[in-house]
């Protein structure tokens, strides 16, 4: 099952300076490069409505647990940790990755977990 990394490209952290790239745009570019190297899918959206968490992403796949993560720095280390975690999510049957296996760079960044949608109508 394909795991998608959805990246909010309109996120602005408190230290954003007008007339500079949005933090979300910077993070999206970095995550896209890391994800491509691992064969993961990405998409950008304008607003995940987690503004107080600045630099938000979602990890999702059909039939699996989905996660929203935030409070990332828009840097290469964060992008690598996000892609590493998404790769583990993709390898998991349920989307659950044991805490002991989480990359250090995603610990403390989880905001929500969503159960998969029911398969029946």
Instruction: Kindly report, residue by residue over 64-79, the tens digit of the pLDDT.
Output: 999 999 999 999 999 9
Predicted TM-score of the model (pTM): 0.94
8 A C-beta contact, residue 57 and residue 29 = no
Q: Under DSSP, is residue 42 helix (H, G, I), strand (E, B) or coil?
A: strand
**Sheet hosting strand 41-45, strand order edge to edge:** 41-45, 4-8, 57-60, 66-69, 110-114
For the chain, the structural domain boundaries read 4-114
Supply the pLDDT for residue 105: 98
Q: Is the pLDDT of residue 1 over 80?
A: no
CATH-assigned architecture of domain 4-114: 3-Layer(aba) Sandwich (3.40)
8 A C-beta contact, residue 64 and residue 89 = yes
């Amino acid at each position: 099952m394909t795991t998608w990394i959805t990246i909010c490209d309109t996120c602005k952290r408190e230290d954003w300076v007008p007339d500079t790239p949005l933090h979300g745009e910077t993070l999206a570019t970095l995550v896209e490069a890391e994800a491509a190297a691992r064969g993961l899918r990405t998409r950008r959206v304008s607003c995940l409505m987690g503004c107080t968490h600045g630099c938000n992403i979602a990890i999702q796949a059909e039939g699996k647990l989905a996660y929203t993560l935030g409070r990332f720095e828009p840097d290469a280390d964060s992008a690598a940790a996000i892609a590493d975690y998404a790769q583990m999510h993709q390898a998991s049957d349920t989307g659950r990755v044991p805490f002991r296996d989480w990359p250090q760079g995603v610990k403390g960044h989880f905001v929500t977990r969503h159960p998969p949608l029911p398969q029946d109508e």
